[in-house]
């Protein structure tokens, strides 16, 4: 009985390790990710490279914006990876355009 329980636990741990490795691989890719938001909906997550290209900025400039607390909202995935919700970037762009229209 103890051997059966032990075997089941080991098998489950192996399955979880495989699942974690698959998730780690997906997070490491530069493809668009899907993220479940607090409201339960799906929202596209984009890399800093994708956002920089979209905005016509360098990745370094985007990193400086994050450091200064300006620019679109972002999500830190793990300790280093940064992702942006497409909806957050679009909202930020709308805000910037609105501010520029009011100033001009």
Cβ–Cβ contacts within 10 Å for residue 51, how many?
Answer: 21
- Residue 36: the pLDDT is 40
- Rounded Cα gap, residues 82 and 40, in angstroms: 21
- Residue 96: the pLDDT is 87
The most distant pair of C-alpha atoms in the chain lies apart, rounded to whole Å, by 77
Q: Has residue 104 got a pLDDT over 90?
A: no
Could you read off the pLDDT of 19-67 as tens digits, one per residue?
766 666 666 544 434 444 444 445 688 999 999 999 999 999 999 999 9
Mean pLDDT of 95-103: 82
The ranges assigned to domains in the chain are 1-32, 45-101
Question: pTM of the prediction?
Answer: 0.56
Q: Has residue 7 got a pLDDT over 90?
A: no
């Amino acid at each position: 009985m103890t051997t059966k329980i032990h075997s089941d636990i080991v098998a489950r741990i192996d399955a979880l390790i495989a699942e974690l490795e698959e998730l780690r691989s997906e997070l490491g890719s530069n493809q668009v990710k899907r993220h479940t938001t607090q409201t339960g909906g799906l929202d596209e997550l984009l890399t800093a490279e994708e956002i920089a290209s979209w905005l016509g900025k360098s990745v370094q400039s985007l990193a400086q914006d994050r450091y200064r607390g300006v620019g679109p909202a972002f999500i830190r995935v793990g300790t280093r990876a940064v992702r942006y919700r497409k909806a957050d970037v679009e909202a930020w762009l709308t805000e910037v355009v609105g501010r520029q229209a009011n100033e001009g």
